Structure 1
């Protein structure tokens, strides 16, 4: 047997007798592919652009300036916040940008890579996972700009900043769960990619990105809490400069919704996985 034959790896694909959550051993075998897909996504995104990574912060900075001119003068908002409004809005826009990018990129990742999915075997869940990691890279760049803004406004983070990773993880799994649902649906129903931009626009205004949730009437608090981004954005503001009170029951509602969405999203993705090639080949 030649050396080439010894190194040849054969993968036998058999239908599973039961629906599994995740095959961690298989994912570990393909971690290099995940890394490659992530780096490729980042390079393609900024290839042949003049401003490069600056595009990551152009949108939130522009929206921050617009909100500062239009929203900041509203009396109820000025009374409800304890920091400069530009900083308040930017802290809401950076996590929202991550949330929206994960959903938008994961929802279309399988359709965009239909040729790869149809020709090569690999765990299909790597596609939305790489899209998520690419969005997290943009989030990291945005956090650097946020740190510079905190220095400019002389806003020293509170000790509660130690809880910041918790809210970032919560936001990520929530967006990933939604992305799993939408990416699987998009392979069969291409209307999904038309629906997502409309959904994200509505979701943006339903989240406390540019306004504090404290101005929402009490009777609507439960509805707002069902939005996972409500608890995340308010939680991040609390971790950075102790804005508002510590997360209450609304946060735990958002936490529950996020985990349910993530777990059911993975099971849904895994259940529909066997039909991806058929739908993408049409």
Structure 2
């Protein structure tokens, strides 16, 4: 390589792209692309859900859910067996004490299968509410160091619940075939029922997550409250006919009641209760809207109060 100290020719402007020996202009360097600019401004009052922003952070949502799945089953003896241990253990307790001793199984064919189908749906609902409610506090370092939509954190916990639900549903299918139960056309409604279960549980979890950040008392009441909620959902262990018309009218105001009932009816067959499913779904959507609105209102103070 020969280095020349010659001055630039007349007419050339200092800073122009260099020319080769033959006078051919060298290719210009590509223009610099400025990174996108994100302006963070405080929001006042109630803010609507920013779906575009959530979609922009969809990869973060996926990887947080994947991280939670890996952490849940890392260094465990049973591994994926924990996804079915909880509904199986609860089924055994209900089948023994409520079914045999209290006579709740009267008139119900295959009562253990009846209870297990309900517990699969309830486990998804209850675990999602619990993990979503504690998710923001559990990710304190992530919240205080970088910016992203905080709503991504509780929403990512739904992925863990869906993962457990798929595994438990596989065992439910095996049990149903062993009892000779073949679902009908209503099995096509399962994706819709699971979607509404996810919406309702995420809505309650998001609302509690925002409350726990500011008031830690909710964290200690959460586990006890979820257990009471389970017993206040009689569709887990009793048939709808045993509850009476008045109870069947008002119990769907509990979103878990109608959605658990709909999951069992869709998975095992039988007459689908559209009233209970519709009312419980509506209440679940209402929880989701209220939870998202309140979460958006207080999330700007999370980094200071967490």
Fold shared by both chains (TM-score > 0.5): yes
The equivalent of 1:178 in structure 2 is: 204
How many corresponding residue pairs?
275
3-state secondary structure, aligned to 2:42: coil
Structure 2 CA distance for partners of 1:122 and 1:76, relative to 1, 3 Å: closer
TM-score when normalising by structure 1? 0.91
- Alignment partner of 1:103 is 2:137: no
The equivalent of 2:106 in structure 1 is: 78
CA distance in 2, matches of 1:137, 1:103: 15
The equivalent of 2:77 in structure 1 is: 50
Residues 206-240 of structure 1 show CA distances to partners (whole Å, capped at 9, x for unaligned) of 11212223211333333312111111121122223
**Richer in helix (by share):** 1
The within-5 A match list for 1:101-180 is 101-180=127-206
3-state secondary structure, aligned to 1:124: coil
3-state secondary structure, aligned to 1:276: helix
TM-score when normalising by structure 2? 0.84
Residues 97-135 of structure 1 show CA distances to partners (whole Å, capped at 9, x for unaligned) of 000111100101111111110111001010011111111
- Alignment partner of 1:226 is 2:253: yes
Residues 177-225 of structure 1 show CA distances to partners (whole Å, capped at 9, x for unaligned) of 1111100000000011111111111111111212223211333333312
Alignment check: 8 A CA contact 1:76 1:215 kept? no
Q: Pick one of 46, 54, 60 that aligns with 1:27.
A: 54
Structure 2 CA distance for partners of 1:76 and 1:37, relative to 1, 3 Å: closer
CA distance in 2, matches of 1:24, 1:240: 32
Q: CA RMSD in A?
A: 2.0
Alignment check: 8 A CA contact 1:177 1:261 kept? yes
CA distance in 2, matches of 1:256, 1:177: 12
3-state secondary structure, aligned to 1:28: helix
Q: Pick one of 252, 268, 271 that aligns with 2:297.
A: 271
**How far does residue 156 in structure 1 lie from its aligned partner after superposition?**
1.0
CA distance in 2, matches of 1:142, 1:86: 15
Q: Pick one of 230, 239, 246 that aligns with 1:204.
A: 230
- Alignment partner of 1:11 is 2:35: no
CA distance in 2, matches of 1:47, 1:6: 42
Structure 2 alignment gaps of length 5 or more: 1-28
**How far does residue 69 in structure 1 lie from its aligned partner after superposition?**
1.8
**How far does residue 34 in structure 1 lie from its aligned partner after superposition?**
1.0
3-state secondary structure, aligned to 1:63: helix
